[in-house]
Structure 1
């Protein structure tokens, strides 16, 4: 590792440390992430030619074409990052529209119970199932909105929100469309839909059930419902029950349609999200078209139009995502991630359970997308054995990269968005939840070993 590469790694580690200690430094994590992104790439530009020769051996532009090539590389990474950001913004806006227009009211009735532990299990299984159908990011947003309708106590809601992260990541790991990493492996032909569902669903379920079983002992007593402060009623132009359900069906049903839209059109998922947002936006505008200006808003905001609801989107979370993903992209461009993967393979002598297990732990520290991308480019597909299609390595990689992100709150898209919505600190999650998520993660790997050894 050269001195410049070491400086980039140190800048990333220092930035990550500041993010992890946000509760102590009182500096917003988004600001640190943006600085980390800029510093890493600025250091990269001190000697970009060494990295271009290392990671882009086909580059022949020499010193003259360096700046243009680096600009192209950054724009490519920014393009990949932007698809995630637009997907996130679209999904957050859709859920906000559904929530503010009362679309989740009837769901709250279905989930309603007086027992804290009963609610925990309902939340766990609903999140697990939805994240396999939608994706872990969108599901997390939906479930947090529902929790806000059901749980008044902030400390209790932190426990439920933590379980949402674990259940969303576990549910996304066994579905070919439930997580970005499984989508990558599926599109590349390294796993099949039937294979990953049949063989990973049990480990994924175990990785959710065990943490839920432990977390239930953190909850005691009866639930206290949040107070409704809105004085709106039907006479003031509030949406009818049919209109509310229509908003829910278009919003949530549209989110479920996004994977179908992608498979039909082969367009990126964020395009489908924007389609759903456009349809939902148009629908609510038509619903409100009969209202006078004085009736378009109420004190709690349930009757605001979409143009007003856009201001409620948490831009600090979006900017944090931008900074962290672009900083990780720099690590990828200097060869750190691929070298890390090769080193793991050598150290553990090709033991795929240990290699993928460590990759899963690393995915809670850095983004799992470049880690999986590095593994895909580093390990060749074999005709038979562990490295074959649906082999142990690729299926374990899908499980570990997905579920491993639950061990730190910044280890997954679900964790990052819940962190922003519920203001969970990195330190609180590490102290209370990390060991619980790790126990479930490890139990899932062990169960997979028995399934592959004695069942398949």
Structure 2
């Protein structure tokens, strides 16, 4: 390994460490990721001929072509995320999720736990797990006044959101990355990961229900105030919900029909929802323009979390540099040698790591470490790629800082790292292992019969 390659690795590892310690350094991880991206590729430019086969006299153009290739692949994920985030925000701001709270209402603590778990699981498969967690915590605040009880429910929201996102091609950032890359298909992850993901949610819910007894106190009804603040009628809100959420469900179908990249389908849904809401708002001119403008797509687009988008850009492009240097392929071969080609152990370890460090660079690294094979475990929808989708998504539940859902719930409900680790970590781990075992049984006994 050359000195230049070692320097690139050191820059990446140091940047990764700063990202992991964001809560201590107080420096936004997006800033670090962008610096990693620039620093790695700047070092790469010192001797690009060492990494590009057949590099001729026109080195600058060849390197630009390489970077643009990786940027194009990264951009498909970024545009998908931006579109999905905007769609969910439009539905939420216009009261599309109000019906969820009505479904949740019950006096039984255990019944509420299961309703929250199931609703979060399936909503996070359609929405992203971060947005689903925010919606469910806000609902919990209306239904559960006792905070010690509420943080138990909130912890279950983290587990259910991460489990639900793992089996859906649009439910988690890492699954979106794998789907965009073409290593898994929508039908493949849904059909083979649904049961393992469901088990990884149900086992913790079954354990946690024994900590909840009795009934809940009657919560204050504040729905009238919220309804008065909405511009749309009940029927219009339902249309917004069906167009937005139904459109997200339609995206994998659109890809299967047209064979266009997923981000094209998400932009189709965004354009349709934008048009529908604009038609509705055209008939609200008599209302306050200021309140209406805050909920229109043009305004909501400016509220997209650009720091998150830039973080993905920086980290994925930095990982692309490692891929171009051949470091990731070498690392993948080393892992295979250490674990003797056992993909259950490799992905299982990656899942545990995803609870400590961000799972986006972990999955991006794996996509660069392992080439897609025509057949076997590394083929499209092979054991390795599906386990990677499951482990990277569900594994983040083991620590409260291990996923975006966990971090946002931690902030909203002020749950301490220590409390979660003592009370929830082992429960999430049991569910994680149970899901892997379920997947192994499916691939060993059910899939051969199906084939």
- 1:82 equivalent to 2:75? Answer yes
Q: Closer, same or farther in 2 for the Cα pair 1:186/1:150, shift >3 Å?
A: closer
Q: 1:356 aligns with which of 339, 347, 357?
A: 347
What is the CA-CA distance between 1:252 and the residue it aligns to?
1.0
Residue 330 of structure 1 is matched in structure 2 by: 321
Residue 141 of structure 1 is matched in structure 2 by: 131
Residue 400 of structure 1 is matched in structure 2 by: 391
- 1:341 equivalent to 2:335? Answer no
Q: How many residues align?
A: 437
- 1:373 equivalent to 2:364? Answer no
Does the aligned pair in 1 maintain the 2:200–2:432 contact within 8 Å?
yes
- 1:41 equivalent to 2:41? Answer yes
Q: State the SS of the aligned residue for 1:320.
A: helix
Does the aligned pair in 1 maintain the 2:136–2:157 contact within 8 Å?
no
Q: Counterparts of 2:241 and 2:115 in 1: how far apart (Å)?
A: 20
Q: Counterparts of 2:230 and 2:172 in 1: how far apart (Å)?
A: 40
Question: CA offsets, 1:73-125, max 9 Å, x none?
Answer: 22222222222222222112111111111111122211234556544432322
What is the CA-CA distance between 1:428 and the residue it aligns to?
3.5
How do residues 151-170 of structure 1 correspond to structure 2 at under 5 angstroms?
Answer: 151=141, 163-170=156-163
- Structure 1 length-normalised TM: 0.79
Q: State the SS of the aligned residue for 2:128.
A: helix
Q: 1:306 aligns with which of 281, 297, 314?
A: 297
Q: Closer, same or farther in 2 for the Cα pair 1:409/1:33, shift >3 Å?
A: farther
What is the CA-CA distance between 1:421 and the residue it aligns to?
8.6
Q: State the SS of the aligned residue for 2:290.
A: coil
Q: State the SS of the aligned residue for 2:231.
A: coil
Q: Closer, same or farther in 2 for the Cα pair 1:319/1:198, shift >3 Å?
A: closer
Does the aligned pair in 2 maintain the 1:360–1:403 contact within 8 Å?
yes
Does the aligned pair in 1 maintain the 2:197–2:435 contact within 8 Å?
yes
Unaligned runs of 5+ in 2: none
Does the aligned pair in 2 maintain the 1:140–1:164 contact within 8 Å?
no
Residue 99 of structure 2 is matched in structure 1 by: 106
Q: State the SS of the aligned residue for 1:350.
A: coil
Q: Counterparts of 1:161 and 1:72 in 2: how far apart (Å)?
A: 47
Q: 2:436 aligns with which of 442, 445, 449?
A: 445
- 1:289 equivalent to 2:247? Answer no
Q: Closer, same or farther in 2 for the Cα pair 1:82/1:278, shift >3 Å?
A: same
Deviates more, 1:42-51 or 1:254-263: 42-51
Q: Closer, same or farther in 2 for the Cα pair 1:320/1:303, shift >3 Å?
A: closer
Q: Closer, same or farther in 2 for the Cα pair 1:452/1:417, shift >3 Å?
A: closer
Q: Counterparts of 2:164 and 2:398 in 1: how far apart (Å)?
A: 15
What is the CA-CA distance between 1:41 and the residue it aligns to?
2.0
Q: Closer, same or farther in 2 for the Cα pair 1:292/1:286, shift >3 Å?
A: same
Q: 1:316 aligns with which of 307, 314, 318?
A: 307
Does the aligned pair in 2 maintain the 1:85–1:321 contact within 8 Å?
yes
Unaligned runs of 5+ in 1: 53-58
- 1:255 equivalent to 2:243? Answer no
- Structure 2 length-normalised TM: 0.79
What is the CA-CA distance between 1:5 and the residue it aligns to?
2.2
Q: State the SS of the aligned residue for 2:433.
A: helix
Aligned alpha-carbon RMSD (Å): 4.0
Q: State the SS of the aligned residue for 2:299.
A: helix
Q: Counterparts of 2:374 and 2:3 in 1: how far apart (Å)?
A: 34
